[in-house]
Structure 1
């Protein structure tokens, strides 16, 4: 992070404190636009950690798993309702 702050100081001609504030403000704004798993990785990148794709992929897989489970539950409920309607229709005929 310090390298970036120093770069801002040199390029913008502002104080280190102003550059740090600008950097943190910008980083915070960017993180609000990213998925939590990616936003969390940014802090690690600034401290020298490598980006952990597994964390991001696992979060997305879990999210998709949850969405799929919800969709299957909705489909199950709709199928049950349609089956009941069909069964009632057959009872009226026979």
Structure 2
């Protein structure tokens, strides 16, 4: 897993956690918070053990996208963009696998 993928997954899980809070769905919020914490710890560990911040390509863009859709659409905007989030989290992995022919 790339550091960018783990950071992006942490952001997406955090988005779902916030969505769960705003929509009174504590189970979604709790589960997503736990997942976000795990991905954030993976990201921090990778950075501590030599991965570079410059490897973050999708995560910063996705943070802006999440904030933008939240600002223009409120909870509905956030929920719509979270549906697309699976692509943001997985396309980088597919791309790396394609480039490496694995």
- Whichever of the two has the greater Rg, that structure is 1
Which structure has more relative contact order (CA 8 Å, sep 6+)? It is 2
Please say whether Structure 1 and Structure 2 have the same fold, judged by a TM-score greater than 0.5: no
TM-score calculated relative to the size of structure 2? 0.32
